[in-house]
Amino acid sequence: MKAVCVVAIGNVPPEILEWVENVAVEWFPWPVRRLQALDLPEGSFDTNRGQYQSVEIMKAVARSRPSDAARILGVTEVDLTIPMLTFVFGQAQLDGPVAVVSLCRLRQEFYGLQSEEVLFRERVVKEVLHELGHTFGLTHCADPTCPMSLATHIGLVDGKEQRYCARCGEQIGQRIASQDGEPL
């Protein structure tokens, strides 16, 4: 039976992985399985920027994907980036099986503020929905309250709701029904 796999890259508190798993259980029709945590891949740290190259993390997650994993979602505490951008909240293969979410910029502490667990948890839910949405072929939504809308700063993440808009929800439902959720 197919599954959604969740994997930590580096150290990630188990309760956060549990939040991630709950989101997957709520929205997708497959059992959710946690894999053994991966080490941060060698060579993924960009010494000039002090950040991790998201592409390398994605490759490591893809390599660890079990054959029954319809989707695999990597979760990491480190700050991710790609060469062109100063940071990314996460990354996903559009209509593919692999996605990663960085928790780093979802924490209030990153912005020099006091930790807020409820807010942090909400942000995690939204980012997980966002990256997994991409793996179902969804592109950015024009509705700023939908988790599939583009967020280029944390304020835009906070403007989102913790559920897909009707249109995006319907599209995911159709993808699951029409191709049994298989990535293209």
Partner 1 sequence: MKKVWPILVVDDEEVMCESMAAWLREDGYRVDTAPNGLRAIELAGSTDYAICFMDLKMPGGLDGIETMMEIHRIHPDASIIIITAYATVDTAIQAMKEGAQEYIVKPSHPQEISMLVSRILKLKKLQSENAILRKKISRSYRHSDIITKNPRMEEILALTRDIASLRSTVLIRGDSGTGKELIARAIHYCGNRADKRFVSVSCAALTETLLESELFGHEKGSFTGADGQKKGKFELAEGGTIFLDEIGDISPKLQADLLRVLQERRFYRVGGSEEVSVDVRVIAATNKNLAEEVQQGLFRDDLYYRLNVIEIRIPPLRERREDIPLLAERFVERIASELGKDIAGISGDALKLLIDYDWPGNVRELENVIERAIVTSHNGTLVESDFSWLKQRSNQGQNWEVPDVPLAELERRAIIAVLERKRGNVKDAAAALGIDRSTLYDKLKRYEIAH
Among 94, 119, 154, 176, binds partner 1 (CB under 8 A): 94
Which CB atom, from 140 or from 163, has the smaller least distance to partner 1?
140
Question: According to the binding rule CB under 8 A, does residue 98 interact with partner 1?
Answer: no
109 is a catalytic site residue = no
Cβ proximity of 44 and 64 under 8 Å: no
Token pair of 169 as six digits: 């929800």
For residue 160, the minimal CB distance to partner 1 (Å) is 15
Q: What is the largest CA-CA distance in the chain?
A: 46
Among 7, 8, 20, 88, binds partner 1 (CB under 8 A): 88
Give the residues across from 100 on adjacent strands.
74, 91
Which CB atom, from 94 or from 104, has the smaller least distance to partner 1?
94
In terms of Cβ atoms closer than 10 Å to its own Cβ (0-12, 13-18, 19+), residue 152 is exposed
29 CA to centre of own chain = 18
Question: According to the binding rule CB under 8 A, does residue 104 interact with partner 1?
Answer: no
108 CA to centre of own chain = 18
Among 6, 20, 41, 54, binds partner 1 (CB under 8 A): 54
Q: Which stretch binds partner 1 (CB under 8 A): 35-43, 61-69, 90-98, 117-125?
A: 90-98
CA distance 123 to 27: 16
Q: Which stretch binds partner 1 (CB under 8 A): 25-33, 88-96, 119-127, 160-168?
A: 88-96
Among 86, 114, 115, 178, binds partner 1 (CB under 8 A): 86
The radius of gyration of the chain's CA atoms, rounded to the nearest angstrom, is 15
Indicate which residue of 18, 122, 131, 161 is catalytic: 131
Q: If DSSP codes are grouped into helix, strand and coil, which group holds residue 111?
A: helix
CA distance 12 to 182: 28
Among 11, 152, 174, 179, binds partner 1 (CB under 8 A): 152
Token pair of 121 as six digits: 């948890």
User: Which residues participate in catalysis according to the annotation?
Assistant: 131
Residues that bind partner 1 (CB under 8 A): 49, 53-55, 81-88, 91-94, 134, 139-140, 150, 152-153
